Amino acid sequence: MVEEPLEIRLSGRPLSVTMRTPGNDFDLVTGFLHGEGVVRAADDIAAMRYCADTDTFNIVDVTLAEGVRPPEVSVERSFYTTSACGVCGKTSIDAIRQRTSYDVREDRTLFDPAVLTLLPETLRAAQRVFERTGGLHAAGLFDAAGRLLVLREDVGRHNAVDKVVGWALKDKRVPLTGHVLLVSGRASFELTQKALLAGIPALAAVSAPSSLAAELAEEAGMTLVGFLRGPSMNVYAGTERLDPADDPDGGTPRT
């Protein structure tokens, strides 16, 4: 399992350093900038390249499109993130309740609980790096029929999600109406926020969500599923998108 730093620059100016698993770096950078509110669409990025002043591929320089304002980096906010926590350095919870351009409450897509129970197995079978190392997180984007559209792995959970969102942004799929994002660990506040910013109406995790994640999902009208293991799951928000009649156990529990 490889973990290396990645420095993100905007027109040569250092913006952030994150610890990540190398691979799909441009997806990661695109998703990170989207999650930070720097860009909203792929066209907001004019160019992206690895810096030529180093013999490693650990520095990516981004040129924003004309008219896209760079963020104001305050001394109150550290842009250094680790593979363990993507919100380290935030001054307060209020600072990361960013406003999204998409209202997932208006997304009326219904998800069959029987289909959701199959997603972890599909995700696990597609984790090629995990199969060799046993130590990486994964995030997978599925459509309502349970088809896996993209999977990304990383030592950091937030990086894996950024890679998925970055891929979708570059492919001009955002907002991701009618999709569900599955994460291999727990559902944190930050991962919930990243999903909301991409217009994803449903987030599922194989482990527990945090209380703030459940609160944010409830406020935003997102469906939040935790402990998605085998035939069972807990639904913490957005039960209206799940049809209990389709549940093989006769109902979907909520905690």
Active site residues: 85
Q: Which amino acid is at 250?
A: G
Q: CB-based burial of residue 56 (10 Å sphere; 0-12 exposed, 13-18 middle, 19+ buried)?
A: exposed
Residues in the chain: 255
Amino acid at 234: N
Helices (H) and strands (E) in the chain, counts: 7, 11
Q: Please, what is the angle between helix 189-197 and helix 157-170, to 10°?
A: 0
Please give the DSSP secondary-structure letter assigned to residue 6: E
Instruction: List beta partners, residue 61.
Output: 9, 49
Residue keyed to tokens 């305050």 = 74
